[in-house]
Homo-oligomer: A and B are copies of this chain.
Amino acid sequence: MNSFQGIEGVTRILATYLVQARYEDLPAEVRKEGCRTLLNWVGVAVGGAHHETVQRAIAALKPFSALDQASLLGRSERFDIMNAAFLNGVSSHVFDFDDTHLKTIIHPAGPVMSAILALAEYRPVSGKDFLNALILGVETECRIGNSVYPDHYDVGWHITGTAGVFGAAAAAGKLLGLNEQQMVWALGLAASQPVGLRESFGSMNKSFNPGRAASNGLFAALLAAENYTSSDAMIEAKRGWAHTISTKQDFSQITENLGSHYEAALNTYKPFACGIVIHPALDAAIQMRNEYQLTADQIAKVELKVHPLVLELTGKKTPRIGLEGKFSIYHSVAVAIVEGAAGERQYSDQAVLDPVVLKLRERVVATVDPAVKPEQVDMTILLNDGRTLHKFIEHAIGSVEVPMTDQQLEAKFLDLAKGILSDEQARKLLSLCWDVEKLESAAEIAKAATATS
């Protein structure tokens, strides 16, 4: 596929690839990762659907959308596709529990899936074509992200929104059947609409960003489909995207090995609903709990040796609300041992006040050890019966080295859907996600993900 490199112009090389790339060209392991990306995204979008952030966005936008073209996952309302793309994108990021391309810290599915699932409800598309578009969208945003990372992120851009808009435009453009010139324009109109600054982290504005990247990318593709023009070189030109928005530009990251190397295959999924620095400790806690069938009352003390960053970021000793629990290594380890999980439920306002968790939390001791790397943890559990248990984690579950298993992804999915979809509906939806390649219409997934309230 290196034939693309001979064509002049980064934007055009990418567009040519996107227009030509077929589902049949995708290696099996890339398709598989695409299914996992899809499934994880549907889970987090359903799970976040009733968050206050989403409620406020719906209240704001409802008066301006009268069409019932597309579903909101985990809800009963329907919107025009542009607003549905935005709202599902917000919902899927609101727990900070979505997928991560670790090389760039892009959360790839939010912009892409939100755009194309809404579009698929308006314009029928087979599951195979849908999966192809999803993978191409993720590939596009991660490659463009690679070309400017880390400078672009360091200065303050929320790369999920700035690179994500290209992913959404590419994937939506693929489903719309754009020709090469139209795809060039779609990428150009996407380049004109970057979204998100890191300063907004901690506010509702953070989940706004993948949502708006989705609707901006979709907007770009729809205009390009009607031959609304842009420049032919918006990514690489002197006053184009990469030079304007970053001090680093490595265009080979975009154009090399298209169709043979897949960034989309490097996607990862969070097993735990909190910042990644606590993940090794949570992994150790849950593994030991399950191996030794531990209960809280058996435990005299939990001793952790951690990287300095862990206490810097998550050293909160007495969290009072759920969100604070995410910044407490103490609560996290305790609740993980008690419940065997660290999903959104374990970071609820109730969970941080649970007496059993509280009692165990007081017995968790964390010590900084500069020899421990950020991806590692050293955990020792002293039991009341005098036994000492020990676990060292080299790479936490959810990393590229130790990916979440399909079963773990399913458990996460079902946990997120709990209380929003019935267990039967959630399991049916799970099957549809795994079987996306067999679906006559990808819209079935959206329909199966809606709730009655």
Binding site for B on A (CB under 8 A): 53, 56-57, 59-61, 63-67, 69, 80-82, 122, 155-158, 161, 185, 188-189, 191-200, 202-205, 208-209, 212, 219, 222-223, 225-231, 233-234, 237-241, 243-244
From A122, A192, A231, name the one whose CB has the most chain B CB atoms within 10 angstroms: A192
B60, A228: Cβ atoms under 8 Å? yes
A245 to chain B, nearest CB (A): 8
Q: A195-B193, A244-B197 are in contact. Are A223 and B57 (CB under 8 A)?
A: yes
Chain B residues within an 8 Å CB radius of A230: 200, 203-205, 208
Which single member of B60, B65, B226, B228 contacts A223 (CB below 8 Å)?
B60
B197, A57: Cβ atoms under 8 Å? no
Chain B residues within an 8 Å CB radius of A229: 203-205
20 chain-A/chain-B pairs, Cβ below 8 angstroms? A56-B226, A63-B122, A64-B81, A64-B222, A66-B80, A161-B192, A189-B208, A191-B197, A192-B195, A192-B208, A193-B195, A193-B212, A197-B240, A197-B244, A199-B231, A199-B244, A202-B231, A205-B228, A205-B234, A208-B230
Chain B residues within an 8 Å CB radius of A239: 155-156, 197-199
A401 to chain B, nearest CB (A): 30
How many copies, total? 2
Residue of B nearest to A192 (CB): B196
Residue of B nearest to A215 (CB): B219
Which single member of B56, B161, B226 contacts A57 (CB below 8 Å)?
B226
Chain B residues within an 8 Å CB radius of A199: 231, 233-234, 237-241, 244
A66 to chain B, nearest CB (A): 5
A291 to chain B, nearest CB (A): 42
A92 to chain B, nearest CB (A): 16
Chain B residues within an 8 Å CB radius of A57: 223, 226, 228
Chain B residues within an 8 Å CB radius of A231: 199-200, 202-203, 205
A53, B228: Cβ atoms under 8 Å? yes
Residue of B nearest to A82 (CB): B64
Which single member of B59, B67, B189 contacts A66 (CB below 8 Å)?
B67
B192, A200: Cβ atoms under 8 Å? yes
A243 to chain B, nearest CB (A): 6
Distance A208 CA – B193 CA, assembled complex (angstroms): 10
Residue of B nearest to A157 (CB): B244
Which single member of B59, B156, B196, B244 contacts A156 (CB below 8 Å)?
B244
Which single member of B53, B197, B212, B222 contacts A61 (CB below 8 Å)?
B222
A65, B53: Cβ atoms under 8 Å? no
A332 to chain B, nearest CB (A): 25
Residue of B nearest to A237 (CB): B199
A398 to chain B, nearest CB (A): 26
Chain B residues within an 8 Å CB radius of A243: 155-156
